[in-house]
Structure 1
Amino acid sequence: MPLMGIALQQRDPESVSPAPRILVGGRWRPVSYVTKCDNRRPACGTCSSLEFQCVYQDTSTDFSSFDPASLAILDRVNYAIRLIEQHPVDPPASDSPRTRHPQQLLEKNAGADLALTTSPKETTLNAEYTFQLEAQQLQANCASSRVLRWPSLRDICDPREVDRLFFNRAEARESVDRLATSTSRGIREEDVPSLIENFLENVHTKNPILDPHELRGLCRRIGEDGFQWDGPSCLILIACALGTISRRFSPEAPGLQDASRLDTHDRATSESYYTAARKRIGLLDPSIIAIQCSFLIGVYEMYSIRPLRAWHSFNRACTYFLTYLHSSSLGQPVEQSSETVKSRLYWSCLKSDCEMREEIALPPTELAKVEYSDAFPSPPGSCLKSDGQSHAEPLMALDPISERSWYYYLSEIAGRRIVNRVTAALHPLNPEEWTSTSVHHLQRIAGELDAQIVQWLENLPPSFRPGDDGPPDGLSYFLHTRYLILREQIWRPFLYLAAHSSPEDPNLPIYTQNACICLDFIVKYVQNCFIKHRHHGSWFAARNLFTKGLLLLVAAKSRNITMPSNWMAIVDTCIAGLMYWEDEAPDLHAARLTLQHIYQSVNQALSSFGGAVG
């Protein structure tokens, strides 16, 4: 099975530009004439549409330097991405004229400045073009703020209240100021080696944007020379902050009386390292190490539940990356780094930007318009020499921890692609568009996307799949929650339709049947959400609990849907999860109060009809 097909179009080789391609007004400029291929045989889709001769390179030589573990990772994920990037088939002529193919939904939501108005041949989109376009269109379509605007909830509370507090820096700062009264161990050079190892074990495995050997080398330099006002010291300081605040994965669920351990000795110490790193980041010129520092500062801010500040840091990392690319393309001297490191930074920065805008309607980074990297970053060690020739000696296989980390990292990137596709195909900004779509067409789109997610899970290594052999480790847990969230989002339109349809609607049985599928994944997600573990996605997990609680209440309020017998206990768990973190984020405190208010309102309405639906 080839790992990558390349469609070679008949152009003058000297005219091929090595610069990255940038999306402007729906067109790539400057144009690169080497296009990623869909691997169709005997001629790929791109070449067929452009009437070019299709020539496949012999990939057996391209990857001669890859070790067996790297080949296994790329082979499995390459197979998975071919599955998830298949577009659903065109609807039959008998469908309602108002139905839309997922690609048509994407083009409709793309905005006037990105409308595809060129000829059919020019509108042939490869997978990377589609991903970039989908990434730019994320506007919190699936977030709790959208659910709060649904007709059944909009009159109960102000849908803007929760997100308004997301942007309130003054209230967010109050929780951080409490740390000033805590006793901190302070910055100690003798603590650095152990904190770096904690960082590599607990944080680096999720976003492997550093070379561990180089990081340990910088750590030894700090031991010899102390902290300086430069990039390496900034990098070590923020890694130490993360090494202090992070912990091994712990599968614990909160009770209604639990609260996050905000005023801890370790939090005060981690803030000392974080503050020292922030004092240095503004002194750095755009470079690879500045991008790494900015990104990791954003990761720390997500760990400490400061999402708005984290978004600013991720955005700065993206801006540094763009500046670095521009300087390099102009022939300016820049810090040299391997393509694999730059590719990993590209994907981590872009993925983090997408994650933030999936929950809060924020402007996209310009990095979303840059097609810089391959479909996936290459594992460490799988690189060519500077002259472009492969290593003569065989490369060492990845150690088990690194191999597992890379399975997770590549699977997360593949999962990110599915998230963007689900949002583009099924979640318009105005959910009332669901009512104007043929139910059979909507069901078929949902079924095809659902099958892609199942295939994504089935193509993970067995050790990542959920099982009955004890509690999961962190990496498998995060992938499984991604799986549950995605499947709930796919069937959510039917919950909306079932909750807002009259009992006389002939399609109501279809709506309710699929709405129950959505509810089933909501229950599974909440029951398997170990909210007490502090990690990069703790704020996202809490916001997801808020969304899941709202959806349960929408379903219960409608009285059209048969509710799970334990739905009230599930809502209580959502409230407990929000309460656990609310001292650190004012928007989570507002979310908890909002959920409780709606819960009380729904219970009163149900009581007037003779009790809760069960």
Structure 2
Amino acid sequence: MGPRRADAVADNPPPAKRPRAIAARNAYPRRRAITACQLCRMRKTKCDNRRPSCGTCTSLEFQCVYQDTATDFSSFDPASLAILDRVNYAIQLIEQHPSPTGSSSDSLRTYPPGPSEPVLEETPDEAISKSTENSFLLEAQQLQANCASSRLLQWPSLRDLCEPCEVDKLFFNPAPPEESTEAAAPSSSRGIREEDVPSLIQSFLENVHTKNPILDPNELRNMSRYIGEDGFQWNGPSCLILIACALGTISRPFSIDTPGPQDTSRLDARDYTTSESYYTAARKRIGLLDSSIIAIQCAFLIGVFEMYSMRPLRAWLSFNRACTYFQTYLHSSSLGQPVEQSSETVRSRLYWSCLKSDCEMREEIALPPTELTKVEYSDAFPSPPGNAPDPDGGNQTESSMALDASSERSWYYYLSEIASRRIANRVTAALHPLDPEEWVKTPVHHLQRIAEELDAQVVQWAENFPPIVRLSADDTADELSYYLHSRYLDLRERIWRPFLYLGAHSKPQDPNLLIYVRNAGLCLDMIFKHIHICFIRHRHHGSWFAGRSLFTKGLLVLVAARSPNIAMPANWMMAMDTCITGLRYWEDEAPDLRAARLTLQRIYQSVNSIVPAFGSAPSDRIIDQV
């Protein structure tokens, strides 16, 4: 019986079902993916997956957020995951980044990778939505002057020509305040006069308030009336009026006049010493104020004045104080403590102005972020003020309406600036690593796709400007439109800057050199236009930033000029002359801009030694004498 059963089994083997099941599992192996938290995904770092907070979030003191379990696809097979990636990517492009109206969709459209293209390392479901406030705060925390001139001085074509820290070290060691005051414009000071307050407040509202509308003009005028009756007190309203008068004294109506080779900013600063008198009186009172809305406004406007007077380090400290005041105010409110009543609109304006100013400073100089970058106070744009009653209790006239034509233009500009700050942080996070060699390691199609998508967002941002602030070819005298156009050019230059680096430092046999050079040409076009925009003698909140931008753009021009791969336009030397003249105009007030001008001249002379140093003295050619 035994042998016969064995023979029967041998003649009729059972069906091989088990191997087919094994083959199916091998074809679509299931995997258990460990979901990283949102911060680690954003930073593209390995997450240890600790709960409730991973190690990275714990060290950064950031709220650790994991993906919703409802979207956990870890049990899906690879084919299903690939399909979901494609679908999610298409939905993301349609919902978040529509094609700009009136622009060429073919030139700006991006596509998911085709069958023959390698899949990008970052899939759509692994990225944080760029439209969320959480993403904006993450990007704000990571700003470390990645796009600043100090990074450019470390590029291979420039690093042997100067010390990268020669310029930035003077930011932290400026001239003593008494020297700056004594060397100011030779004008006699009128001192603090109560009868001058109404006219200075009006000058402040017309020339300064329009860029950061964090005050109620009617309330400010009402405070100034009490000053005329009772004089300056040691309280918040007097401090606010004093700093507003300081800004009203130093500010002037917008002008696009350009400086000459012998012009200096101090000679053009009329009533500089008078403005310092108001500023000093305001600083004596700011330390006496408790955390309140008016204290935040005073600290912020003191920072604005310090930017007007080219003292960026003091300005950053004042902005940091305003951020601290705001955070303390919010903390007191959350604990149920009695706080000063104010409208949500005022608080939202202060939040965005403080956060935006902190980002602007840390974008240029590597400074620690304020704690306000961790506060998710508002994910919406601030709302314009509604119609408010007249402070005297009477009916409003057309000139006293809360949102007149001038205020409307101011608010359109203000909201556009906040939107541009979001895009600028996004550009830095997506395209500007600390080490530029990361651009070399990135696949060119990946870099191109990111740049095109961000460029489309900037173009769409500019095309959506209301007509009231849109810059036309025939109108260059409008201040707000002028600055928005400057921001537009600067953003697009930063987007295409990686290709300038790649085009200038690549070998002639590089197969992607034509792509690099073509996009580097677009970057240079934005650079030359932006240099022209920054070359004005008008003093404003961003004058120091404009000087630093001239230095950065000049360095980029020299990087391109030193490379045999990039053909330079015939007028590039005129652009360098403009950068150096613009830096010289402000250098008496900002020692770091003087060092920047000397550095730029020295590198320029190494590129073209036959070009004169633009009338500079022999001692100016030695940067060690700064």
Q: Classify the TM-score, shorter chain.
A: 0.7 to 0.9
Q: Give the secondary structure class of the aligned counterpart of 1:514.
A: helix
Within the candidate set 508, 511, 514, 1:503 is matched to 508
Distance 1:585 1:470, change over 3 A: same
Looking at structure 2, the residues matched to 521 and 124 of structure 1 have their Cα atoms a distance apart, in angstroms, of 28
* Residue number among 153, 156, 164 corresponding to 1:148 in the alignment: 153
| Contact persistence 1:254–1:576 (CA under 8 A) | yes
Q: 1:542 to 1:434 in 2, by over 3 A?
A: same
What residue number does 2:87 align with? Answer: none
1:193-237 deviation digits (Å, cap 9, x = unpaired): 000000001111100000001000000000110000000000000
Mapped contact 1:145–1:163 kept (Cα < 8 A): yes
Kept in 2: contact 1:545–1:577 (CA 8 A): yes
Question: Aligned partners of 1:397, 1:606: CA distance in 2, in Å?
Answer: 55
- Cα distance in 1, alignment partners of residues 427 and 124 from structure 2: 9
- Correspondence for 1:540: 545
> Equivalents in 2 of 1:101, 1:497: separation in Å?
25
Bigger relative contact order, structure 1 or 2 (CA pairs below 8 A, ≥6 apart): 1
Distance 1:420 1:84 in 2: 21
Q: Distance in 2 between matches of 1:94 and 1:429?
A: 31
Give the structure 2 partner of residue 247 of structure 1.
252
Change (3 A) 1:102 1:210: farther
Q: Which residue of 2 aligns with 1:404?
A: 409
Matched letter for residue 204 of structure 1:
H
The secondary structure found in structure 2 opposite 1:600 is helix
Letter in 1 for 2:575: I
Identical aligned residues as a percent: 71
TM-score (norm: length of structure 2) = 0.77
Whichever residue aligns with residue 353 of structure 2, its letter is: S
Which is further off, 368-377 or 543-552? 368-377
- Pick one of 529, 536, 541 that aligns with 2:534: 529
CA distance in structure 2 between the aligned counterparts of 1:465 and 1:255, rounded to whole angstroms: 29
Alignment check: 8 A CA contact 2:198 2:224 kept: yes
Q: Which residue of 1 aligns with 2:458?
A: 453
**SS in structure 2 at match of 1:165:** coil
In structure 2, the partner of 1:128 is 133
Partners of 1:259 and 1:579 within 8 A in 2: yes
Is the 1:531–1:541 contact (alpha carbons within 8 Å) kept by the matching residues of 2?
A: no
- SS of the residue corresponding to residue 273 of structure 1 reads helix
Matched residue type, 1:221: Y
CA RMSD of aligned residues (A): 3.1
On the 8 A contact 1:235/1:277 being kept in 2, the answer is yes
1:149-228 residue pairs with structure 2 within 5 A? 149-170=154-175, 174-179=179-184, 182-228=187-233
- The structure 2 residue matched to 1:323, chosen from 309, 324, 328, is 328
The 5 A counterparts of 1:243-322 are 243-262=248-267, 264-322=269-327
Matched, 1:494 2:499: yes
How far does the alpha carbon of each residue in 1:343-373 deviate from its partner, in whole angstroms, 9 at most, with x for none?
0000000000000000000000000000101
Q: Is the 8 A contact 2:504 2:566 kept in 1?
A: yes
Once the two structures are superposed, residues 441-492 of structure 1 have per-residue CA deviations (whole angstroms, 9 ceiling, x without a partner) of 1111101111110000000012322322232311000100000000000000
Residue identity matched to 1:564: P
Equivalence map 1:374-389=2 (5 Å): 374-381=379-386
Partner AA of 2:276 in structure 1: E
1:569 equivalent among 571, 574, 582: 574
Shift of 1:433: 0.4
- Deviation digits for residues 169-192 of structure 1, max 9, x if unmatched? 345753333249752000000000
Checking the alignment, whether the CA contact within 8 Å between 1:203 and 1:242 is kept in structure 2 is: yes
**Counterpart mapping for 1:33-72 below 5 A:** 49=71
TM superposition shift of 1:259: 1.2
Conservation of the 8 A alpha-carbon contact between 1:142 and 1:423: yes
Q: Does 1:350 align with 2:355?
A: yes
Amino acid at match of 1:168: N
Secondary structure of 1:558's aligned partner: coil
Cα distance change of structure 1 residues 606 and 233 upon mapping to structure 2, 3 Å threshold: closer
Question: Does the aligned pair in 1 maintain the 2:255–2:477 contact within 8 Å?
Answer: no
Give the 3-state SS of the residue equivalent to 1:461 in structure 2: coil
Kept in 1: contact 2:293–2:342 (CA 8 A): yes
- In the alignment, which residue of structure 1 is the partner of 2:338? 333
Q: Which residue does 1:520 correspond to in 2?
A: 525
Please list, as runs of the form range in 1=range in 2, the aligned pairs for 1:357-372 lying within 5 A after superposition: 357-372=362-377
Which is higher, the Rg of structure 1 or of structure 2? Answer: 2
Alignment of 1:385-396 (within 5 A): none
**Conserved? CA contact 1:495–1:512, under 8 Å:** yes
Aligned to 2:604: 599
Once the 2 structures are TM-superposed, how far is the Cα of residue 331 of structure 1 from its aligned partner? Answer: 1.2
The aligned amino acid for 2:325 is Y
**Mapping for residues 433-444 of structure 1, pairs under 5 Å:** 433-444=438-449
Give secondary structure in 2 for the equivalent of 1:194.
Answer: helix
Q: Is the 8 Å Cα contact of residues 234 and 285 (structure 2) preserved in structure 1?
A: yes
Tell me the secondary structure at the aligned position of residue 516 of structure 1: helix
Q: Which residue number corresponds to residue 488 of structure 2?
A: 483
1:264: Cα distance to partner?
4.5
CA distance in 1, matches of 2:168, 2:113: 38
Match of 1:422 in 2: 427
1:204–1:194 distance in 2 versus 1, CA, 3 Å: same
Amino acid corresponding to residue 127 of structure 1 in structure 2: T
The structural deviation recorded for 1:30 is: 11
1:292 and 1:173 map into 2 onto residues whose CA distance is: 26
Q: Which amino acid in structure 1 is aligned with residue 557 of structure 2?
A: L
Taking the TM superposition and a 5 Å limit, the aligned residue runs for 1:221-240 are 221-240=226-245
Cα distance between partner residues in 2 of 1:334 and 1:291: 13
Residues 86-142 of structure 1 show CA distances to partners (whole Å, capped at 9, x for unaligned) of 9977655755578657997xx8xxxxxxxxxxxxxxx77861000000011001000
| Equivalent-residue separation in structure 2 for 1:282 and 1:300 (angstroms) | 17
State whether residues 250 and 272 of structure 2, in contact with CA within 8 Å, keep that contact through their aligned partners in structure 1: yes
1:83 and 1:539 mapped to 2: Cα distance?
35
- Separation in 2 of the partners of 1:193 and 1:249? 21
* Cα distance, 1:585–1:82 mapped onto 2, change above 3 Å: same
From the superposition, tell whether residues 84 and 298 of structure 1 become closer, same or farther in structure 2 (CA, over 3 Å).
farther
TM-superposed CA distance for 1:374, in Å, is: 3.3
Using the alignment, how far apart are the partners of 2:540 and 2:467 within structure 1?
24
Q: Is the 8 A contact 1:84 1:418 kept in 2?
A: no
Q: How far is 1:565 from its partner?
A: 1.2
Q: Deviations over 1:17-52 (max 9, x none)?
A: xxxxxx976897599xxxxxxxxxxxxx9998599x
CA 1:125–1:437: 2 relative to 1, 3 Å = closer
- Alignment gaps of 5+ in structure 1: 1-22, 32-44, 52-78, 108-122, 384-394, 608-614
CA shift at 1:419, angstroms?
A: 0.2
- Cross-structure match for 1:390: none
Specify the code of the residue in structure 2 equivalent to 1:446.
A
Distance 1:316 1:322 in 2: 10
Pairwise CA distance, 1:376: 0.3
